[in-house]
Amino acid sequence: MASIRDVAKMANVGVGTVSRALNGTGYVSADAKKRIDEAIQELGYTPNELAKNLFRNRSGIVGIVVPNLEHPFFARLSREIESCLYERGYKTMICNTIGISNREKDYLDMLDRNIVDGIITGAHSLDDSVYLKINKPIVALDRDFGRKIPLIHSDHEKGGRLAAMTLIEAGCKNVLQFATSSLVHTPSNKRHIEFEKICREHGVRVTTVETVWNNLEYEYFRNAMKDYMDIYEDIDGIFTADVAAAFCMNALKAKGRRIPQEVKVIGYDAVGIIYLTDPVMTSIAQNTTEISQRCVDTILKMIEGNKNYERQQIVDVALLKGDST
């Protein structure tokens, strides 16, 4: 197996020159770079990634922390972030906290000990202060830590507005929405505030129910939505995230209520689950590809010491019309 010394000898340059060329850490003339590239190709030399990262005081790994990988939105987002990082030369370590703060804390400890170079977090099981005391690259997905940590999220106000107008234009007069706890510092709450505001402005009655914010298990949603459909029997419209909306639709159909003739249902996220419902669910689509790219661009700039990034980045949403409204 060829070594860096073999490459240097064949290219007639010093080992340090080869190292600078590989790491991009200093000047190497065009002629020397060409000879080094030719020597690498002829010898079949593979740079030692671990040694390269140690030289740069990096691991080449970025951590992703999400609440639950079983949830379709976080599953898609994690997949797209991992693909984007891989294309940029980074490996990924993924943690789903499942509402357990120790998991989240363990990943922050890994960041503090340089085991990962940065963290993209969308979890909410730890207090903000734990994040804020760490002076390492962290990007927040839909969680507002203040100005110290960059924040990337969808235009939730627009999402709430689109959802409200869709139900209003469909003729709804008494709607129910399920929201996350108002105690959680997440921009996603803005969609529920905007939804309620627009509905009330148009004379539509709105009931907002706060669900358990750190429980994304299917069993919880199945039982909770069944109970709520029994309680709120006089509603004619529902707004909630896709998974909860799907279970609402199942519960409504079990009660003999027709969708959309008697009850209109609109989801939020527009992930694959909407195509498994009957009828196909109308939903507000979050652009997971754009969110992922922005998360990766920002965390890599932070790792490289480039401060040329926006503190808050808002990604557009769109209405994906199905047959449930």
Rounded CA-CA distance 92/7 in Å is 30
Task: Supply the pLDDT for residue 100.
Answer: 62
Task: Supply the pLDDT for residue 49.
Answer: 56
Task: Supply the pLDDT for residue 99.
Answer: 62
Q: How many CA atoms lie within 13 A of 193 on its CB side?
A: 10
3-state secondary structure of 40: helix
Does CATH number 3.40.50.1820 belong to domain 4-55?
no
Q: Where are the alpha helices (DSSP H) in 56-155?
A: 72-87, 101-112, 128-132
Determine the distance from the C-alpha atom of residue 279 to the mean position of all C-alpha atoms in its chain, rounded to a whole number: 27
- Residue that is written with structure tokens 């790994």 in the block: 61
Q: Return phi, psi of residue 111, to 5°.
A: -65, -45
* For the chain, domain boundaries: 4-55, 61-154+289-315, 156-286
3-state secondary structure of 46: coil
Classify residue 305 by its DSSP letter. T
Q: Name the residue among 191, 265, 270 with its Cα closest to residue 235.
A: 265
Task: Supply the pLDDT for residue 135.
Answer: 86
Mean pLDDT by 10 residues, the chain (325 residues): 84 87 78 90 73 62 88 93 92 80 77 83 82 89 91 97 98 94 80 96 95 71 91 95 94 95 97 94 97 96 91 97 97
Task: Supply the pLDDT for residue 181.
Answer: 72
Whole-structure pTM value = 0.81
Q: Which fold has domain 61-154+289-315?
A: Rossmann fold (3.40.50)
Contact between 158 and 195 (Cβ < 8 Å): no
Q: Which class in CATH covers the domain with range 156-286?
A: alpha beta
Q: Name the residue among 287, 186, 193 with its Cα closest to residue 239.
A: 193
Give the H or E element holding residue 288: helix 288-304
Rounded CA-CA distance 264/236 in Å is 6
**C-alpha angle 268-274-277 in degrees, rounded to nearest 5:** 130
Asked whether the bond before 260 is cis by omega within 30 degrees of 0, the reply is yes
3-state secondary structure of 173: coil
Q: Name the residue among 30, 26, 27 with its Cα closest to residue 56.
A: 26
Task: Supply the pLDDT for residue 52.
Answer: 56
Contact between 88 and 300 (Cβ < 8 Å): yes
Contact between 230 and 254 (Cβ < 8 Å): no
End-to-end CA distance of the chain: 64
Task: Supply the pLDDT for residue 251.
Answer: 95
Give the H or E element holding residue 312: strand 312-315
Q: 120: which 2 tokens?
A: 């993209």
User: 4-55 with 61-154+289-315: one CATH topology?
Assistant: no
Give the H or E element holding residue 179: strand 174-179
Task: Supply the pLDDT for residue 280.
Answer: 97
